[in-house]
Amino acid sequence: MPQPNESSTTFPSTSVDWTRKLISYDTTSRDSNLDLIAYIKDYLSGQGIESTLTFDKTGKKANLFATIPSATGETTGGIVLSGHTDVVPVDGQHWTSDPFKPELRDGNLYGRGACDMKGFIGVTLQLVPRMLQTRLAHPVHLAYSYDEEIGCVGAPSMIQDLIDRGVNPSGCVVGEPTSMRAIVAHKGINVYRCRVHGHAAHSSLTPKGLNAIEYAARIICTIRDIADGIKANGPYDDAFDVPYTTVQTSMIRGGIALNTVPDLCEFEFEYRNLPGSSPETILQQVRDYIDSTIMPSMTRENAAAKIDIEKLARSPGLDAAEDAAITQLVRALTRDTEIRKVAYGTEAGLFQAAGVPSIICGPGNIEQAHRPDEYVSLEQLDQCEKFLIALINSQAA
């Protein structure tokens, strides 16, 4: 289990110190986040706040949800402050400093996750005492999820738990890096793995085999054709930085030796659909091509041929209503009226799909995320702190 690079005996007192502490936990998505979750849980427990954990099926990762109740003890309704605890890998990247030993340089805090998005989580934790001291008319909830970076995998179980317990939040702010500007929409994420099963043979006897790589290549080319068709014909939404649904193949594996006809090839593909457009349409186009063209050709060569498509992750797009109370509140607090939409995905779409109006606003610039020498500026952390203090005050009785 990953260990922090700093002592866990005391809790930080400022947003910068909290962010430094969180960065010191290596919570790369392929690893566990339980040490970080335990640390946060212990801190909240010391503040008299109970946490609810929802685990993945391995028990090695967990979401944390906690509620600061209203002055009258109410724990339903209220606003959720949501962020993800996982970070992307640093493999192959050249960092000036250790990515999990945060450094302050030139007014910036460097480290993996500083921007995406431990800065936001750090600010929310630093403000817990203020939340407790404020006579809240409505509760404030903290939601910290796992595996957002690989398709918002963790958040669904946490949100389902909220539904089952009748928490019924009235709004959600997801603190992804937006330079503290309001983001009202993002695309949906859909990730699939396709496995093409052929038949192995010595390469000198290719007619006796069934080449899985070659048939997988045909499917991949069709996926590219689908992407090109959408780019050329739409639909479009010019408020997005990439104004149409995108489709791509990202990973491929197959073959065991040069002189062997490969009996298996698997690849992953993803598409990011505009909110309001059906994500099923693209998958159905891929399936239709396989059923009408690829499978008949394959089975003529070998009756045992098979193709499987497995869903790895799916998260719906976000399209916040301008008249929603949470949208109006964030716009008022940030004094930002511009309509901004982004191609990346967040758990905001999942909260919205569960009936919780949501919006995105957090410290840092998304262009710094996932890169070597990732950082968040101290100015952005300060802006986030002022924003959340104003949000807390807006919930006062």
Regarding whether 284 and 230 lie in a shared domain, the answer is: yes
Stretch 55-68: mean pLDDT: 97
pTM of the predicted model, to two decimals? 0.89
| Mean pLDDT, all residues of the chain | 95
Residues 331, 327: Cα–Cα separation, whole Å: 6
The single residue listed with the structure tokens 């041929």 is: 305
Total number of domains constituting the chain? 2
CATH code where residue 124 lies: 3.40.630.10
- For the stretch 258-313, pLDDT in tens is 999 999 999 999 999 999 898 899 999 999 999 999 999 999 999 999 999 999 98
pLDDT score, position 397: 86
Regarding whether 290 and 196 lie in a shared domain, the answer is: yes
Q: How many CB atoms lie within 10 A of CB 193?
A: 14
Closest CA to 309 of 333, 339, 283: 283
**Any idea what the Cα angle at residue 99 is, between residues 253 and 182, rounded to 5°?**
85
CATH code where residue 310 lies: 3.30.70.360
Count of residues in the chain = 397
Regarding whether 32 and 89 lie in a shared domain, the answer is: yes
The dihedral formed by the CA atoms of 27, 29, 31 and 37, expressed in degrees to the nearest 10: 40
State how beta strands 62-68 and 51-55 pair.
Answer: antiparallel
Regarding whether 117 and 23 lie in a shared domain, the answer is: yes
- For the stretch 300-317, pLDDT in tens is 999 999 999 999 988 999
- For the stretch 180-193, pLDDT in tens is 999 999 999 999 99
- As given in the structure block, the two tokens for residue 256 are 């065991």
Regarding whether 44 and 135 lie in a shared domain, the answer is: yes
Judge whether 273 and 283 are in contact, CB under 8 Å: no
Judge whether 199 and 298 are in contact, CB under 8 Å: no
pLDDT for residue 7 is more than 50: no
pLDDT for residue 3 is more than 60: no
User: Within a domain: residue 306?
Assistant: yes
Domain span including residue 289: 188-315
Regarding whether 327 and 306 lie in a shared domain, the answer is: no
